[in-house]
Amino acid sequence: MKLIDPHIHCVSRTTDDYQFMARCGVVAVSEPAFWAGFDRSSADSFADYFRQLTDVEPRRAARYGIDHYSWLCINAKEAENISLSREVIKLIPPMLDHPRVLGIGEIGLNKNTRNEITIFQEQVDLAARHDQLILIHTPHLEDKHKGTRIITDILKSDRRIKPHRVLIDHCEEHTIRMAKEAGFWCGLTVYPVTKVTPQRAADILESFGPDRICVNSASDWGESHPSMLVDTLLAYRGRGHTEREETEVFFNNPCRFFGQCPKWKLAPLDMKIDSDSENADGR
């Protein structure tokens, strides 16, 4: 079965992980710009990072048959430094025509501070002016509910922003409703620790319906793993969902969201209706 990991930080992963993903059936990934685990000292560091995202990783992924796309931004954590953020934002517009860049992301909030909100709004404006898709990072742990509320309020108050062109990522049980009911796409990030587990992700898919939900591993330099994507698929399959339902969630949904950018090449798969009547044991 073909899979897409819609959010993974390949710059932090080894080639073993690319090989693992290829063995699992992952045929495409998208990589948002994020915090490297330390604060960078200048905009030049970001210029190199953006080159790594747009040129180096697509070549590395292609060796394993994986189509690699990326997103550009200054992440929420380093957005606390407003002057650095504005220098980094200036680097982005000339790169938006790059064939591997899908949009602006992952922008959002980390600790819900005034500075983070200022830079978030400036990057939303950047995306609106250049008609770009947006990938949103929501805060973790106790800051998530408040941060998601602030983010969705800002997006809803900007008439230029079309909710179906925005994916609110790292949604959990208490935030997915506010994102989904407002018409945004939603991301579920599945981690071995601290975030959503494969079983909880399957619960959320069943409780809220699979439409406009993408599942990702968000694998990075911390405790995380690309296997979380396929572990979630297995948890979903274990509930008796059909291959068609699995394909909708783990391949077609990312294709539908990313496909709003003409640079994305994969099309949703048209599964035969009769596969609906088959469960995991009948395939």
Which span sits near other proteins by CB under 8 A: 34-42, 138-146, 178-186, 243-251? 138-146
Least separation in angstroms between residue 116's CB and other proteins is 10
Report if residue 80 touches other proteins, rule: CB under 8 A: no
Residue (114 or 159) nearer to other proteins, CB: 114
Residue (112 or 252) nearer to other proteins, CB: 112
Least separation in angstroms between residue 149's CB and other proteins is 8
**Under 8 Å between Cβ of 267 and 105:** no
Task: Give the distance, in angstroms, between the CA of residue 167 and the centroid of all CA atoms in the same chain.
Answer: 7
Question: How many chain residues bind other proteins (CB under 8 A)?
Answer: 21
Least separation in angstroms between residue 227's CB and other proteins is 18
Task: Give the distance, in angstroms, between the CA of residue 245 and the centroid of all CA atoms in the same chain.
Answer: 20
**Residue 10 structure tokens:** 């390949």
Question: Counting beta carbons within 10 angstroms of the beta carbon of residue 25, is it exposed (0 to 12), middle (13 to 18) or buried (19 or more)?
Answer: middle
104's CB contacts (< 8 A; 6+ apart) are 71, 72, 73, 92, 123, 126, 127, 130, 132, 133, 134, 135
Number of Cβ within 10 Å of residue 145's Cβ equals 15
Report if residue 55 touches other proteins, rule: CB under 8 A: no
What does the chain come to in residues? 283
Task: Give the distance, in angstroms, between the CA of residue 222 and the centroid of all CA atoms in the same chain.
Answer: 17
Report if residue 141 touches other proteins, rule: CB under 8 A: yes
Q: Name residues contacting other proteins, limited to 205-264 (CB under 8 A).
A: 238-240
**Can you tell me which of 82, 121, 203, 234 binds other proteins, judged by CB under 8 A?**
203
**Can you tell me which of 90, 129, 130, 174 binds other proteins, judged by CB under 8 A?**
174
Least separation in angstroms between residue 69's CB and other proteins is 31
- Radius of gyration, alpha carbons of the chain: 18
Report if residue 114 touches other proteins, rule: CB under 8 A: yes
Report if residue 144 touches other proteins, rule: CB under 8 A: yes
Give the footprint of other proteins on this chain (CB under 8 A): 112-114, 141-146, 149-150, 172-175, 199-200, 203, 238-240
